Amino acid sequence: MFGGSKIDRGIEAFGKKDWKRARRLLEEGLQDDDRAAGFYHLGQLYWRGLGGPVEKEAGVDCFARAADLGHVGAEVAYGIALRSGVGTPKDDERAYALFRSAAGAGDRDAMIQLATMSDPDDARRWLLRASELGHAPAILHLSDMLMDRDPVEALSWLYASVSLAGDDAARERAKALASEMSAKEIEAAQKAGRAYAKDIQQRVREGRP
């Protein structure tokens, strides 16, 4: 049994995509128990209109409450809402602070958000950090950034992504990029890509940031 409380059962229902049940249980459970994970999951239901109508403002309120309680995913979700101005007044400064907090806890999506709000050097640093954690979307962004300046390095990261996750988008992009390169450049990229993938796998096994 996953857990006896309504919040536990609501989160379990969320995981099973039983949206209506999840929504009902979380709404009821959060009346008596302020739990970050409960607010975060209920916020997702409201924001995405799962198990009931879309309620952006209610979703943002849930994200804000979960973020205040230290939920990393909620910090990212609340930051995205603040940055877009959907369901809440737009506030880039507050969004940036939330992304920084979540990135400090190792959230890779937060690192991508920070990259899109930063100058090129900082953007590359954030994307590299997320890529070194094996995050396929970050690797695609990083390869785009490297494409003109260092196409071999860009291809290396794409090969690493394919090796780690079999990412189809990375595979197609690698194929297109490799078609413009020499055999020597492709060989160098393959070698570097294998090294990156190996390092990422070891970092994950050891739980290193």
2 pLDDT higher than 70: no
The domain locations on the chain are 1-105, 120-209
- Give the single-character DSSP code of 167: -
Tokens, residue 62: 């849930």
167 pLDDT higher than 90: no
Instruction: For 110-158, write each residue's pLDDT tens digit.
Output: 999 999 999 999 999 999 999 999 999 999 999 999 998 999 999 999 9
3-state secondary structure 109-157: HHHHHHHHCCCHHHHHHHHHHHHCCCCHHHHHHHHHHHCCCCHHHHHHH
The CA-CA-CA angle for residues 201, 204, 209, to 5°, reads 125
Pick the CATH number of 1-105 from 2.20.25.90, 2.60.40.10, 3.40.30.10, 1.25.40.10: 1.25.40.10
Residue whose structure tokens are 């009821």:
28
Q: Measuring CA to CA, how many Å separate 102 from each of 23, 178, 197?
A: 25, 35, 24
Alpha-carbon distance 25 to 14, whole Å?
10
* Whole-structure pTM value: 0.89
Share of the chain above pLDDT 90, in %: 92
205 pLDDT higher than 90: no
- Report the pLDDT averaged over residues 168-184: 95
Instruction: For 98-108, write each residue's pLDDT tens digit.
Output: 999 999 999 99
Q: What is the DSSP string of 45-87?
A: HHHHT-SS---HHHHHHHHHHHHHTT-HHHHHHHHHHHHHTSS
Q: Over the chain, what is the mean pLDDT?
A: 95
Q: Are 114 and 99 in contact (CB under 8 A)?
A: yes
Tokens, residue 37: 């994970």
Q: What pLDDT is stored for residue 51 in this prediction?
A: 97
Alpha-carbon distance 29 to 39, whole Å?
10
Q: What pLDDT is stored for residue 209 in this prediction?
A: 67
Q: Are 114 and 100 in contact (CB under 8 A)?
A: yes
- Report the pLDDT averaged over residues 26-49: 97
- Closest among 107, 127, 108 to 116, alpha carbons compared: 127
Q: Which of 2-16, 36-50, 184-198 has the lowest mean pLDDT?
A: 2-16
- Report the pLDDT averaged over residues 5-34: 96
52 pLDDT higher than 60: yes
